[in-house]
């Protein structure tokens, strides 16, 4: 069996953006007439002009209904993120079987303690000109939480159950031209429908697509690269059109916009054109070189242009072989990945490109090269950014199949909706070069027994039918059960969630000749918080509801990062890992899911504000091969601990280092194989605290000092320091700068323990958007211009307006010298 599977190779490519480029998207304002100009297809982002109402209303879909008293909002929109936090919201009495619990207990912050439950309505009034008559009109929703029912001019035109999926509705017969249209969307979030904060509302984009009746189908372009070499690439493009008889011409442009190939389709199978186009000396896509091409598909009736679709793609080859593992463009590599939930911290689930880009840039600096969407379908914007920035992607579908984890979860829709949900996922995203694997599910209870095996086979066959170029995995936590039933054996790639102690046994039991760490570590920590004595422990809790940042604490079912590092380094058949998680997220506050006020996770390498924790640098020391890492912990402000043991850890890409306290050497440590921790960390476990300066000096292989870092005991807080991730914004009303505020003493030393309250004021061509300090126990709301520091830091979000100009942020705190920062917003 292994010999047979070892010959299986999955080859692929790319990403589809139907319609015109983003730069030419037209935003709908309240009651505008939309000009079609002379182009064949228009894609309109329906952002402004929305009215919102939280609650049930039986007649809100009617065209004559008055929504004047409703709140005006822009979309994407998350109705619940403004709170308030409340322990009674979605309080669940449940035993979490995935965590090994057998008795139900009260879970108060499991879904973030935010008011996402209930019904809501969105309405938008717009007008198409008379010139849109006889055109085909499509409404596309990139995600709506949840169970959206869509009405146009008082008529129900469509619905979809899965809040994470993309869907579109042909409204050609219902749309009015030359007069106003009323679009109404009803949403319903059930209690006990999620294991984390799912968000609420039209949290992803809504599009109107206007095109000719004879045109290219929505998501109708499929691009693969079945032959890839440095000399040339074969690009296969299959294009589905609505009716036969048209001429299809395809141009391929490189990243500079130069035309590198042109082809007129000669082969049609009914309404599908099949083109094979040669690219000479292609620029290959990879995380290190994210080269992208654009295919421009033009459909003609004679010389009359009927439709034009641009599709961005990459030229790349992926291969999964027994004995070799995963290869990209012929080079063996292992996934250095993280799992991400879909919320964006203080922004909730409402999609924002600036926030997504910031997340990815932080991960890029860590050396991360892969993302797993957990445990649902990713946003189109996230995939576009992964294409651009160079991240491989494991796109996941469901957290439940037919057997439930929560009372009102996806199991309610699995039998009727699973196939169409997978089909839409693949059709909408198949052309992204970043996607290198599909996941059919996560820790589904169906892992036990013959029924689960049949479901796994059924789902995998749907993926293979729709996309034969990528393999399928499932995140399995019941590894023993999947060995016994055959569940794990049938998957293209066996994905193991944790269970490092079973890796060797699973490798021998499964025929594929490889394993993936589909979810690893689940180590918990709170940024800047350290607990003594420093001991390894599982499910450790403290009176302040925080976890220690010495990175020695994990959950009952999980392990420390170093245990996974050993498997990644020593087992060639382990093809990589996806760490739980890259960033903290709202909900699931393990190990404090029975403790109020904990309301967000502790798993992240970065906190909810996006500030790196110590653990970030442990992974960076292994993953980032371009820049060295030298990071020392803990901080050195320990009034009251004088003379007590205060261990010092160093996360570094160097092999050895020497520690000094107030000028006195405490010895040289060198990485060794005596334990997983000693192999990947430098640890001075018997340091006695005394105020002053702690210094670490790193040495190269020749014993030469090459880098150093110091931590100095700070005095009283004196002034506020502001550091922006970006100082130049786009004046589009959406762009965001993330400004980290911290406090230093008179000598500029950081004050890592201060929890002072700061207040924010924004003037000029922008506005205060949100704030977050990364404290999982904070009940302060994100949308108020005030918050306490946590471990000496917080992050302020400033959003651009639509008029260019300067934006001035002022930050004040009692007895502190205020901080001021100027941003520039321009078109």
Instruction: List active site positions.
Output: 443, 519
Q: What is the DSSP string of 50-114?
A: EEEEES--TTTTSTT---TTSEEE-SS--TTTT----TTTT-EEE--GGGT--S-EEESSTTTT-
Q: What is the DSSP string of 146-182?
A: S--EEEETTEEEEE-S-TT--EEEE-TTT--BSSEEE
**Phi, psi for 806 (deg, rounded to 5):** -85, 145
3-state secondary structure of 615: helix
Distance CA 423, CA 462 (A): 8
* Tokens coding 260: 């590198």
Q: What is the DSSP string of 453-472?
A: HHHHHHHHHHHHHH-TTS-E
Contact between 153 and 64 (Cβ < 8 Å)? no
Distance CA 452, CA 441 (A): 12
Distance CA 793, CA 773 (A): 6
Bridge partners of 406, per DSSP, are: none
Contact between 11 and 471 (Cβ < 8 Å)? no
Residue 566, judged by CB atoms within 10 A of its CB (0-12, 13-18, 19+), counts as middle
Helix axes 414-429 and 380-389, enclosed angle (nearest 10): 40
The rounded Cα 665 to chain-centroid distance in angstroms is 44
Residue of 669, 664, 670 whose CA lies nearest to 694: 664
DSSP 3-state helix, strand, coil percentages of the chain (rounded to 5)?
15, 40, 45
CB-hemisphere CA count at 13 Å for 276?
A: 7
Contact between 589 and 777 (Cβ < 8 Å)? no
The rounded Cα 503 to chain-centroid distance in angstroms is 27
Backbone CA torsion sign across 166, 169, 170, 171:
negative
Residue of 285, 240, 247, 245 whose CA lies nearest to 263: 247
Distance CA 785, CA 361 (A): 26
Residue of 400, 417, 416, 406 whose CA lies nearest to 474: 400
What's the 3-state SS for 620-646? HHHHCCCCCCEEEECCCCCCCCCCCEC
Residue matched to tokens 């961005």: 312
Burial 657-674 (b: 16+ CB within 10 A, else e): bbbbbeeeebeebebeee
Residue of 697, 703, 671, 438 whose CA lies nearest to 565: 671
Distance CA 692, CA 723 (A): 26
- DSSP state, residue 822: E
* 664 contact partners, CB below 8 Å, separation of at least 6: none
Helix axes 449-466 and 414-429, enclosed angle (nearest 10): 30
Distance CA 636, CA 646 (A): 9
Q: What is the DSSP string of 508-569?
A: HHSSSS-EEEEEEE-B---TT---SS---EES---TTS---TTS-EE-TT---HHHHHHHHH
Element (H, E) at 423: helix 414-429
């Amino acid at each position: 069996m292994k010999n047979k599977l070892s010959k299986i190779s999955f080859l692929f490519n790319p990403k589809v953006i139907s319609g015109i480029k983003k730069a030419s998207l037209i935003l709908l304002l309240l009651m505008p007439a939309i000009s079609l100009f002379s182009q064949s297809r228009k894609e309109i982002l329906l952002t402004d002009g929305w009215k919102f109402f939280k609650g049930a209303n039986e007649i809100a879909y009617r065209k004559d209904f008055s929504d004047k008293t409703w709140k005006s909002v822009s979309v994407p929109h998350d109705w619940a993120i403004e709170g308030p936090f409340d322990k009674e919201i979605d309080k669940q009495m449940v035993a979490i079987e995935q965590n090994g619990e057998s008795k139900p207990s009260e879970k108060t912050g499991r879904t973030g303690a935010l008011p996402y439950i209930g019904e809501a309505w969105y309405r938008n009034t717009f007008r198409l000109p008379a010139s849109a008559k006889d055109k085909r009109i499509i409404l596309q929703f990139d995600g709506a939480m949840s169970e959206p029912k869509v009405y146009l001019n008082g008529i129900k035109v469509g619905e979809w159950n899965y809040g994470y999926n993309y869907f579109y509705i042909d409204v050609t017969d219902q749309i009015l031209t030359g007069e106003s249209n009323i679009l109404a969307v009803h949403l319903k979030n059930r209690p006990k429908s999620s294991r984390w904060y799912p968000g609420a509302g039209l949290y992803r984009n809504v599009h109107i697509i206007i095109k000719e009746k004879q045109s290219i189908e929505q998501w109708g372009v499929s691009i693969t690269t079945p032959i890839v070499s440095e000399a040339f690439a074969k690009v296969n493009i299959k294009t589905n059109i609505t009716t036969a008889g048209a001429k299809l011409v395809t141009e391929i442009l490189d990243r500079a916009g130069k035309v590198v190939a042109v082809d007129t389709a000669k082969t049609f199978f009914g309404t599908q054109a099949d083109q094979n186009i040669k690219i000479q000396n292609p620029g290959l896509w990879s995380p290190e070189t994210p080269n992208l091409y654009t295919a421009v598909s033009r459909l003609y009736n004679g010389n009359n242009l009927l439709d034009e679709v641009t599709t961005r793609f990459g030229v790349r080859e992926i291969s999964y072989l027994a004995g070799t593992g995963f290869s990209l463009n012929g080079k063996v590599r292992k996934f250095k990945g993280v799992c991400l939930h879909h919320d964006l911290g203080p922004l909730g689930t409402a999609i924002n490109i600036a926030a997504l880009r910031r997340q990815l840039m932080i991960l890029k600096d860590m050396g991360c090269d892969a993302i797993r969407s957990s445990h649902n379908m990713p946003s189109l914007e996230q995939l576009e950014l992964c294409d651009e920035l160079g991240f491989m992607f494991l796109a996941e579908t469901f957290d439940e199949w037919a057997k439930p984890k929560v009372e009102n979860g996806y199991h309610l829709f699995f039998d009727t909706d699973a196939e169409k949900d997978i089909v839409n996922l693949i059709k909408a995203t198949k052309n992204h070069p970043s996607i290198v694997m599909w996941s059919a599910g996560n820790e589904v209870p169906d892992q036990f027994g013959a029924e689960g095996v049949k479901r796994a086979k059924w789902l995998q066959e749907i993926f293979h039918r729709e996309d034969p170029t990528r393999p399928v995995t499932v995140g399995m936590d019941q590894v023993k059960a999947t060995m016994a039933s055959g569940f794990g054996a049938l998957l293209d790639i066996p994905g193991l969630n944790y269970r490092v102690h079973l890796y060797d046994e699973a490798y021998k039991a499964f025929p594929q000749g490889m394993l993936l760490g589909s979810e690893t570590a689940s180590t918990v920590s709170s940024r800047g918080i350290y607990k003594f004595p420093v001991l390894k422990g599982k499910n450790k809790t403290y009176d302040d509801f925080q976890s220690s940042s010495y990175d020695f604490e994990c959950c009952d079912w999980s392990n420390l990062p170093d245990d996974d590092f050993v498997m990644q380094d020593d087992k060639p058949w382990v093809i990589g890992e996806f760490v739980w998680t890259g960033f903290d997220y709202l909900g699931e506050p393990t190990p404090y899911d029975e403790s109020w006020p904990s309301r967000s996770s502790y798993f992240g390498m970065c906190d909810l504000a996006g500030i790196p924790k110590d653990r970030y640098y442990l992974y960076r020391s292994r993953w980032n091969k371009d820049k060295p890492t030298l990071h020392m912990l803990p901080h050195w402000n320990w009034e009251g601990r004088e003379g007590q043991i205060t261990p010092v850890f160093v996360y570094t890409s160097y092999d050895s280092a020497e520690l000094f306290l107030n000028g006195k050497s405490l010895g040289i440590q060198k990485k060794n194989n005596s334990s997983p921790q000693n192999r990947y960390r430098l640890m001075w476990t018997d340091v006695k605290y005394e105020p002053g300066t702690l210094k670490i000096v790193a040495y190269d292989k020749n014993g030469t000092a090459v880098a150093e870092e110091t931590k100095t005991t700070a005095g009283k807080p004196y002034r506020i320091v502001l550091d922006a991730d970006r100082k130049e914004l786009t004046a589009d009303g959406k762009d965001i700068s993330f400004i980290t505020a911290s406090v230093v003493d008179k000598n500029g030393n950081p004050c890592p323990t201060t929890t002072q309250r700061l207040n924010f004021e924004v003037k000029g061509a922008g506005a205060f958007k949100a704030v977050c300090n990364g404290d999982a126990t904070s009940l302060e709301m994100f949308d108020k211009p005030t918050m306490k520091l946590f471990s000496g830091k917080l992050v302020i979000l400033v959003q651009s307006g639509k008029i260019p100009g300067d934006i001035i942020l002022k930050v004040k705190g009692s007895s502190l010298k205020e901080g001021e920062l100027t941003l520039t917003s321009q078109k």
